[in-house]
Amino acid sequence: MINRIIGWVDQRFPITAIIKHEATEYPVAPNLNYWWNFGSLAGVVLVLQIVTGIFLAMHYKADVTLAFDSIQHIMRSVNYGWLIRYIHATGASAFFAVIYIHISRTLYYGSYRGPRELLWWTGLLLLLLVMGAAFMGYLLPWGQMSFWGAQVITNLFGAIPLVGGHIVVLLRGDFSVGDPTLTRFFALHYLIPFIIAGAVVIHLVALHTVKSSNPSGLPIADKDNIPFHPYYTSKDLFGVGVFLIIFCSFVFFVPDAFIEPDNNIPANPMQTPPHIVPEWYFLPFYAILRSIPDKLLGVVGMGLGIVILAALPYLDRSKIPGGSRYRPIFKALFFVFIADAFVLGYVGAHPPEGPMVLIGRIATVIYFGYIVSMPFVSKWEESWLRKRGLPAPVQKYLDEQAAGGTK
């Protein structure tokens, strides 16, 4: 009976072929480590956010006079409303934690390198979309930090020459953040996740065309690949279990860890909090913004902080394959970059006074220095490694490449 139904569908829609192509016969390198779990984990968190978000939207009121109260209504009167809301609020932080680890893995193993440029770019696009969704979602509780965060960030667009003022009004729907801002942010916050879901499909199509990279630094021969299902489905599910233990520990025992105390005070346009801090996942970029003395250049720098990463496949000019496996300088600089991102995050959380200003500027220079110097460093590293003598597998790979090129 089941087979007959599947056969009926298959004649009209290639369901069996899709399952084979994307799962049961989709070839994956056998040596992926647990750092490769974070892509599917990001997908799990996206679903979690969409599902909890839809239930929150059933009880939330996007109106400046009602928004704050409606959150408390959800927390206190809706059945398990506290659970849904805490999952959603913690989920935002979990989403960024997972994505940042996913991106760090891409940088460490050089996964962005050809032929995976489009995979990398769709991934960066996804990061920007998630940031947009998170920023707009943060306004919805209509607390002090919601309001002033939105006020500060929308204000940045005013630095754009000529049209800046118009863009700010367009974003806010008014001259300052108010009811029109709240309603449009709510509408867009509901829309963007579905655009994200669509972009995830594109990201996956690109992935299944070029296949996953792997930690060996060398491409894996086709014959050595193993099917995604059941090997990586079982490995990913174990990863989901570990993730859920950590995630639920936050949701049930320290759910306020990611909620600023100030955001439990209703938004008050007449009273600026002494210290406006964005959520932790924006802090490094906020630090870059504040480290550049010129307002417009600061905004450009903040945007470039992400956009410039798109150029990495072309800036990394080393012929040595892969990422850190056979490239000690590349590896060392990766850790400098990650440490630098943490320093920027620390600076972003503190008022720009005293040593923070200088530390922020140095860290900003290092951040962009890592990227801009990559063409030179990667070339220099390659010639240095060649002089020292390449490991046999790398030499073999390069010889094969050279032979393939002359054929």
Partner 1 sequence: MKKYLLGIALCFATVGAWANEAKLPKIELPTSPEALQRGAETVATVCLSCHNLKYIKYSDLSGLGFSKEKLGALSVGHGLDDSLMSPMSAEATKQAFGITPPDLSMMAKARVGGPHYVYAFVTGFYTNDKGKTDNHVFPGAKMPDVLGAASAKGEERTAIEYKAKEVAAFLEWAGDPKAQERRGLGRYVIAYLIVLTILLYLVKLRTWARLKEHHKRKHT
Q: Which residues carry out catalysis?
A: 208, 212, 235-236, 279
Binding site for partner 1 (CB under 8 A): 30, 72, 75-76, 82-83, 86, 93, 97, 223-224, 226, 230-231, 234-235, 237-238, 240-242, 244-245, 248-258, 260-262, 264-265, 275, 277, 279-280, 283, 345-346, 349-351
CB 275, min distance to partner 1, A: 6
Greatest extent of the chain over all pairs of C-alpha atoms, in Å: 74
CB 174, min distance to partner 1, A: 25
* Tokens of residue 380, six digits: 């220099």
Q: What are phi and psi of 358, to 5 degrees?
A: -65, -45
Q: What distance in Å separates the CA atoms of residue 92 and residue 90, rounded to the nearest whole number?
A: 5
Instruction: Using the minimum distance from each CB to partner 1, give the nearer residue, 234 or 383.
Output: 234
CB 373, min distance to partner 1, A: 29
Instruction: Using the minimum distance from each CB to partner 1, give the nearer residue, 249 or 401.
Output: 249
* Tokens of residue 227, six digits: 């099917």
Describe the chain by its helix, strand, coil percentages, rounded to 5. 75, 0, 25
Q: Are 370 and 333 in contact (CB under 8 A)?
A: yes
CB 51, min distance to partner 1, A: 17
CB 277, min distance to partner 1, A: 5
Q: Are 290 and 348 in contact (CB under 8 A)?
A: yes
Question: CA 364, 367, 368, 370 torsion: positive or negative?
Answer: positive
Instruction: Using the minimum distance from each CB to partner 1, give the nearer residue, 90 or 318.
Output: 90
Instruction: Using the minimum distance from each CB to partner 1, give the nearer residue, 10 or 63.
Output: 63
Q: What are phi and psi of 225, to 5 degrees?
A: -65, 155
CB 392, min distance to partner 1, A: 23
Q: How far is CA 399 from CA 316, 320, 390, 406, in A?
A: 20, 11, 11, 11
Instruction: Using the minimum distance from each CB to partner 1, give the nearer residue, 80 or 376.
Output: 80
Instruction: Using the minimum distance from each CB to partner 1, give the nearer residue, 201 or 257.
Output: 257
How far is residue 73 CA from its own chain's centroid?
Answer: 31
CB 114, min distance to partner 1, A: 28
CB 250, min distance to partner 1, A: 6
Instruction: Using the minimum distance from each CB to partner 1, give the nearer residue, 56 or 377.
Output: 56
27-28 vs 226-227, strand pairing mode: antiparallel
Q: What distance in Å separates the CA atoms of residue 196 and residue 204, rounded to the nearest whole number?
A: 12
CA torsion 166-167-173-175 (nearest 10°) is -50
Question: CA 397, 398, 401, 403 torsion: positive or negative?
Answer: negative
Sequence-distant (6+) residues with CB within 8 A of 133 are 189, 192, 193, 196
Short-list 18, 14, 47, CA closest to 205: 18
* Angle, in degrees to the nearest 10, between helices 355-372 and 295-307: 40
Instruction: Using the minimum distance from each CB to partner 1, give the nearer residue, 44 or 333.
Output: 44
Q: What distance in Å separates the CA atoms of residue 262 and residue 73, rounded to the nearest whole number?
A: 19
Sequence-distant (6+) residues with CB within 8 A of 17 are 10
